[in-house]
Amino acid sequence: MAPTKVTKICCIGAGYVGGPTCAVIALKCPHITVTIVDLNQSRIDAWNSPDFQLPIFEPGLEDVVRQCRDRNLFFSTDVDKGIRDAELIFVSVNTPTKKTGVGAGSAADLNNVERATRRIAAMSTTSKIVVEKSTVPCRTAESMRTILEANSKPNCRFDILSNPEFLAEGTAIADLYNPDRVLIGSLQTPEGLDACESLKGVYANWVPSEHILTVGLWSSELTKLAANAMLAQRISSINALSAICEATGANIDEVAHAVGTDSRLGPKFLKASVGFGGSCFQKDILNLVYLSESLHLNEVAKYWRGVVDMNEWQKRRFGQKVVKELFGTITGKRIAVLGFAFKADTGDTRESAAITLIRDFQSERALVNVYDPQVPQEQIWQDLQEASPSSSLDTIQKHVTVSPSAISALYKSMNKPAFVFDGRLVFGNTERERLANIGFKVISIGRGDSI
């Protein structure tokens, strides 16, 4: 066999990974037809909207879609046709943490992966390269291969690759244009290596060859979890130090800067905050926890669970600090929460610290105004309901107001003293002093002083 020269790609899943990734592939590979399929009609309608009101916000994404849509980039709910026509299929479906059953609370729910795999087997009449793009536990590809081989038609073979994403929301398009590395895992058989070369040939249209890493299938799957776990561990470590800084009068920004100048460590992911969120960090660490427990490596599992526990503690600690500073009670007091997504430059709210804070403020019977320019109201209400399943939406809406602007989230005349709690270290010394001069008491995470 020789590597297939790919001309038709299908991506199953039009979410945060599949959409931007395959849109950039279409832009950089005009000779390849890319079809992104999803059963969610409203999501596909948004991708196809005439005014380009895309279902996800990512800087630079609209420009990519404008250049490619209806040229060599297509969005469709016809999953079966997308599968049949493709030579290479990305499986980029959601894999949330299981809420019930075996491994609940830490294992990944692979139902969507299995359904997509069975659909590929059922609809394929020619051989395919199937690329695992979703975040999955180690050796998921083995299960996919078992399903495909058990259900394949005569003269129809499948080669499985792992190609995990390492995108950071808010910079995903820049990351895709100029990736630190593209990782491709394959079985170390002649067929597996040929399939690897086929996918490598797609990325080689714009990614330098030295940035395309090829490894074994299981190493690729584990690397995705390991990379996110190591990054999350740094965030939890710096957040643990932020509590010491507040207690001793040290400045977490100064500590982080000094630590970050150590060439062995580097400056990234040393920004103290109210906690990490998003679709990957917590889920991937919990995957590692479950994998470790399954391998009877209980001390390893305990270690990685501690990173998640530290993150949850940081959220609770920040909320408790707000209550303490506001004279021990926030009942009936109005609190503006500026930002609902898990970080800037995204509309993604998964595991956002804001959800936990607002839930805790509600339990203290505070009145909350929330503002985020990228998050639809419907998403805010859905997230708050999931966080407080025992409360009706009507009850939540009695305590929470979604504001149309940052200014309207604040009262023009606030009770004095008025407070600003900076959980993302947005304000430097100059901004803190300016806020203090107009009457605010400013309390920043990781700083023992308040002004």
Residue ranges of the annotated binding site for substrate are 165-169, 224-228, 264, 271-277, 342-343, 424
> CA 40 → CA 15, 45, 96, 276, distances in Å?
10, 9, 17, 28
Contacts of 42 (CB under 8 A, 6+ apart): 55
- 2 lies in some domain: no
pLDDT for 161? 96
Mean pLDDT, rounded, for 271-290: 89
What are residue 237's phi and psi, to 5 degrees? -65, -45
Contacts of 374 (CB under 8 A, 6+ apart): 57, 341, 345, 346, 347
Task: Compute the chain's Rg from CA coordinates.
Answer: 24
> 278 and 348 in contact (C-beta within 8 Å)?
yes
- 3 lies in some domain: no
Mean pLDDT, rounded, for 236-243: 94
Residue 177 predicted with pLDDT over 80: yes
pLDDT for 412? 61
Domain boundary among 207, 241, 262: 207
103 and 248 share one domain: no
375 and 321 share one domain: yes
- 214 lies in some domain: no
Model pTM?
A: 0.83
22 and 68 share one domain: yes
Cis amide prior to 373 (ω within 30 degrees): no
Residue 89 predicted with pLDDT over 60: yes
- 277 lies in some domain: yes
Is 280 one of the annotated active-site residues of the chain?
A: yes
User: Cα torsion for 78, 84, 87, 89, to the nearest 10°?
Assistant: 50
29 and 158 share one domain: yes
Taking the CA of residue 412 as centre, how many other CA atoms within 13 Å lie in the half-sphere pointing to its CB?
Answer: 0
Q: Per residue in 30-86, pLDDT tens? A: 999 999 999 999 999 999 999 999 999 999 999 999 999 999 999 999 999 999 999
199 and 245 share one domain: no
Residue 413 predicted with pLDDT over 70: no
> 229 and 288 in contact (C-beta within 8 Å)?
yes
Q: Per residue in 246-260, pLDDT tens? A: 999 999 999 999 999
In this structure, of 223-227, 275-279, 408-412, 431-435, the range with the lowest mean pLDDT score is 408-412
- 271 lies in some domain: yes
Kindly report the average pLDDT of the chain as a whole number: 93
CATH of the domain at 327: 3.40.50.720
Helix 217-248 crosses helix 281-294 at what angle (to 10 degrees)?
A: 120
110 and 235 share one domain: no
pLDDT for 322? 95
Residue ranges of the annotated binding site are 13-18, 38, 43, 93-97, 134-135, 165-169, 224-228, 264, 271-277, 280-283, 342-343, 350, 424
- Catalytic site residue from 11, 138, 245, 280: 280
Residue 87 predicted with pLDDT over 80: yes
What are residue 11's phi and psi, to 5 degrees? -115, 120
322 and 355 share one domain: yes
43 and 118 share one domain: yes
Give dist(CA 384, CA 135) in Å, integer. 25
> 366 and 332 in contact (C-beta within 8 Å)?
yes
339 and 438 share one domain: yes
pLDDT for 448? 82
- 87 lies in some domain: yes
- Containing structural domain, residue 111: 8-207
Domain boundary among 152, 177, 207: 207
Which tokens sit at 104? 């609940």
Residue 371 predicted with pLDDT over 80: yes
Which tokens sit at 69? 């849509």
In this structure, of 29-43, 296-310, 413-427, the range with the lowest mean pLDDT score is 413-427
Counted domains in the chain: 2
201 and 230 share one domain: no
Which tokens sit at 129? 């390269």
Taking the CA of residue 124 as centre, how many other CA atoms within 13 Å lie in the half-sphere pointing to its CB?
Answer: 27
End-to-end alpha carbon distance in the chain: 70
Give dist(CA 210, CA 197) in Å, integer. 14
Domain boundary among 148, 175, 207: 207
Between vectors from CA 333 to CA 332 and to CA 339, what angle results, nearest 5°? 125
Which tokens sit at 195? 């399939």
Residue found under tokens 């630079």: 60
Residue 411 predicted with pLDDT over 70: no
Residue ranges of the annotated binding site for NAD(+) are 13-18, 38, 43, 93-97, 134-135, 169, 280-283, 350
Percent of the chain with pLDDT over 90: 79
In sequence order, the β-bridge partners of residue 442 are 420
- 218 lies in some domain: no
313 and 283 share one domain: yes
Q: Per residue in 324-343, pLDDT tens? A: 999 999 999 999 999 999 99
255 and 399 share one domain: yes
